[in-house]
Chain A
Amino acid sequence: MLTGSVIVLASFVYVGLLFAIAYYGDKRADAGRSIIANPYIYALSLAVYCTSWTFYGSVGRAATSGIGFLPIFLGPTLMAMLWWYVMLKMIRISKANRITSIADFIASRYGKSQLLGGLVTVIAVIGIVPYISLQLKAVSNSFSLILKYPVLAPDSQAAIPLLADNTFYIALLLALFTILFGTRHLDASERHEGLVAAIAFESVVKLLAFLAVGVYVTYVMYNGFADIFSSAVEYPQLRKLLDFGGTSVDYASWASLTFLSMLAIMFLPRQFQIAVVENVDERHLKKAVWLFPLYLFAINIFVLPIAFAGLMHFPAGNMDADTFVLNLPIAQRQSLLTLTVFIGGLSAATGMVIVETIALSTMVCNNLAMPLLLRLTVLHLQERADLSTLIVGIRRGAIVGVLMLGYAYFRLAGEAYALVSIGLISFAAVAQFAPAILGGMFWKGATRRGAICGLSAGFAVWVYTLLLPSFAKSGWLPISFVEQGMFGMHMLKPLELFGLTGLDDITHCLFWSLSCNIGAYLFVSLLTTQSFAEQVQAALFVDAHIGARRPRAESLRGDASVNELIALLGRFLGQRRAHEAFAAHALKGGARSAKELKPDAELIHFAETLLAGAIGAGSAHVVVASVVQEEPLGIDKVMNILDETSQALAYSRQLEQKSRELEVATAELRSANQRLQELDRLKDDFVSTVTHELRTPLTSIRAFSEILHDNPALEPAQREKFLSIITRESERLTRLINQVLDLAKIESGNAEWHTEQFSLRELIEDAMSSTSQLFSDKAIALDLRLPENLPPVVADRDRLLQVMLNLLSNAAKFCRDESGRVTVSGALAADGLRVDVADNGIGISPDDQRVIFEKFRQVGDTLTQKPQGTGLGLPICRQIIHHFGGRLWVRSTPGDGATFSFLLPQSCILAGHAAAPFRKFGT
């Protein structure tokens, strides 16, 4: 039978078992063989999320709102899928910076602000302590229920004297447990392995206990799920629980509760403690993202059946639905099951209380007590050689303090509304941390003032719209505050702020508080600027995933002696531990002992991080700064920074220059390539034209040869005529080939040039006599008009003769027969010596004037008229004159003859003779 002594004994045996497990866990950890270093223990310890509020309260909630109890568990399931991004980053940041609590996390992110750390701590304590009371109340209630076994007790609020209250002793026992296993190490950032092992064990116990009662109710009392729900349909008052309300309010609160619990699973201090601080290996997170939701799934399967069974079993309505889990086995007189359920509820409550207390006490010690002590009694602290015992003392005091605060609140609030609804109210309180933490992890621009304003605004709205109304409903404040609003102003009704209706209390509070919180956070962050320390921390947090290092600018900080640092840390951590830590650090850096360490910025940072694990980042920063003299920025250091910057600038300018040069070179290459392609095309044209030109004489030679060959009896006169044609065409062919070769030579620059001095007059006369036959054949008059005393010319005589011959024969070719007249004249011009060859022939049209200097272009219709030349003469002439540096051109009016002229530049005229004739000309 379950008697009081049996129950008390069982409770103490259970707590004793926890001690044993925690002790074993710590022993194994000390021996280096951790029992919690696996993902299953990690996932189980995360289930500290399920408190007695889950164990007893879920059924209570389900009994009033059906499936409405589920968002509290669906939220964490959804959030777990984002852990891979969010939680992983939190773990990495916290390990790198030895973060000890959520307050430390926020304070550290915003430039190690003590003010911010204190603010977060205050919010957490005010929000969470009632939540701890709720657990104590659950333990107390279940005690009083089970003590009356097998009598069903609807409620049990007879005032119990303090010393007779079992809850008080449970609270003391939990404080002892927490002190023993929660403050073994001074360094709060170190893991509490035994404690985590005990929490994981508690998670197993509460799950098994709940499954046991669930299976019993569903399969022993009824015949499975279908049976329970089918029976429930018979009760008209239960029918409405079978489906969802379906109004917009119901859906809105469903969504907002899901969202709220998503934030709670991240930012409840106990969840941060277990998931981040106690995390052994970040890889454990991988399995936890589905094992933890699976745990939540399992513990909720039987909630609805138990709720319906309870409602059907105790239809009178005088039984609190929160007690169904325990009262159903009691009513069935299942003493063993009753005891199991009781132990399960006890484990759910104690697990939460232990972890939450550790988390809160660390915050209170590091973020409230230490800053105050450091500020108020600096001189006193400086005198004390060893502060480590003081710190441990503060932390132990904080543990007892938090627990006693929770117990006091429980005694004070009792059955009040304030306690019943505190679970969700606490969730809403910690949700205020979300903007500062998430924003701080992903947005570098968030500033300390922004975080302070956002947190303060959100917290204030939370107090006004949720905490104060709950006080009013408990009778601690006039209820008119809720019904009429503050000062009787309806716009300020706390549950319908500014007239916003249609939402439940939690959704209403969540909307206003988070709006104000995020609004103030963003607005103030965007308006204020970060200090240097904030910028450094912001970069460390936001870039944690890429292994951000402290910027080099940190080296601007001044120096302190190594001994000073060790002595300072020794006061807080104990001398032995400080020396060991520095020695280990020295070994890691390649030095043989701590004496060889250089007191540089890196070492100061190491000392600060080490200290942060014990007293929090904000306090550590202040303490280390007290021995490290922050050097003012020396001019040389400023110059160094400027120098680095200007080097970077110069380098970038060089790059720009190089890229511009490259662009120019690319453009040049492109145009060169175009020219090459053009030349290639010209070459192809030239080859095909040459071949065509060669074929013409060849064709006639071959045709006449064949005639001669095929007709041996040809008349001699005819024969003679054909042979002469063959000879002429052969000559033309030879000439053509010679000219092609000649042109190719000149163009490629391979032609041989024999420069000599000669008289232009003689040259012209030679040419005229060579061509005199042509002129006399056609009876063309040939005149020469040359001034006397033309200066001698220095050039290749043969080439120039070739030009003259070509021009003369051209003139002869195109002159009219009989009345033809060709005039050769020469004159000294300002820029050289000019020679004109004028005829009175058919002339050249302006179109033809442009093309006659191109290769193989002859004037006249080559299809109908027999070509009179090779089409290479003029191009060759122009090449030759160009080679001398002069010009060759033509002026002509069609029908009125043409004048070909060339100009030999001054450089071809023998020096000394150039000016004289010119002067003579002028007279």
Chain B
Amino acid sequence: MKEPGIHGQRLIAVFLLGCLLLNYPLFSLFNLDYRVFGIPLLYVYTFFAWGLLIALTAAIVERDPD
């Protein structure tokens, strides 16, 4: 594996995005008594953000031909 390079930097960007998405204050915006298809909004948001982060990570590292 070569040096971290551009992919490492992208991963750091996703890391920062994750810190933002999964923390106060953004987190509190979804802390409402509201349900999406019967599931509390906060649960949907948290798992959606989590899945999004994993997908982004996968997309970044799998694009690396190495």
Contact = CB atoms under 8 A, between A and B. Distances in A.
A78 B38 contact: no
A243 B29 CA distance: 12
B61 A293 contact: no
Nearest to A291: B58
Interface in B1-37: 1, 3-4, 7-8, 11-12, 14-15, 18-19, 22-24, 27-28, 31-33, 35, 37
Nearest to B32: A243
Contact of A254 (B7, B18, B24): B24
Interface stretch (A82-90, A427-435, A500-508): A82-90
A232 to B, nearest CB: 9
Nearest to B22: A74
A49 B5 CA distance: 28
Contact of B15 (A78, A226, A229, A246): A78
A82 B46 contact: no
Interface residues of B, number: 38
Interface string A262-288: 000000000000000000001101110
A70 B39 CA distance: 17
Contacts of B50: 74, 77, 293, 297
A820 B46 CA distance: 117
A808 to B, nearest CB: 89
Contacts, number: 107
A230 B47 contact: no
A545 B2 CA distance: 10
Contacts of B4: 84-85, 88
Nearest to A231: B38
Interface residues of A, number: 37
Given A70-B46, A225-B39, A243-B42, A290 B54 contact: yes
A82 B11 contact: yes
Contacts of B12: 81-82, 85
A253 to B, nearest CB: 11
A59 B50 CA distance: 19
Contacts of B61: 84, 286-287, 289-290
B15 A297 contact: no
B54 A229 contact: no
A301 B46 CA distance: 11
B28 A251 contact: yes
Contacts of A84: 4, 7-8, 11, 61
A258 interface: yes
Most chain B CB within a 10 A radius of its CB, from A81, A286, A290? A81
Contacts of A80: 57
Nearest to A304: B43
Given A81-B15, A82-B15, A84-B7, A229 B22 contact: no
Contacts of B19: 78
A703 B23 CA distance: 101
B28 to A, nearest CB: 7
Contact of B54 (A70, A282, A293): A293
Contacts of B28: 244, 246, 251
B11 A242 contact: no
A244 B27 contact: yes
A67 interface: yes
B18 A78 contact: yes
Contacts of A829: none
A229 B11 contact: no
Interface of A: 67, 70, 74, 77-78, 80-82, 84-85, 88, 225-227, 229-230, 242-244, 246, 251, 254-255, 258, 282-283, 285-287, 289-290, 293-294, 297, 301, 304, 545
A-B pairs, top 9 by smallest CB distance, nearest first, are A226-B38, A251-B24, A290-B58, A81-B15, A290-B57, A81-B11, A84-B8, A283-B1, A244-B31
Given A77-B54, A251-B23, A297-B54, 5 more contacts: A84-B61, A226-B38, A242-B33, A254-B24, A290-B62
25 contacts: A67-B42, A67-B46, A77-B18, A78-B18, A81-B12, A81-B18, A81-B57, A225-B38, A226-B38, A229-B39, A230-B35, A242-B33, A243-B40, A244-B28, A246-B28, A251-B27, A251-B28, A254-B24, A283-B66, A285-B1, A286-B64, A287-B61, A289-B11, A294-B58, A545-B3
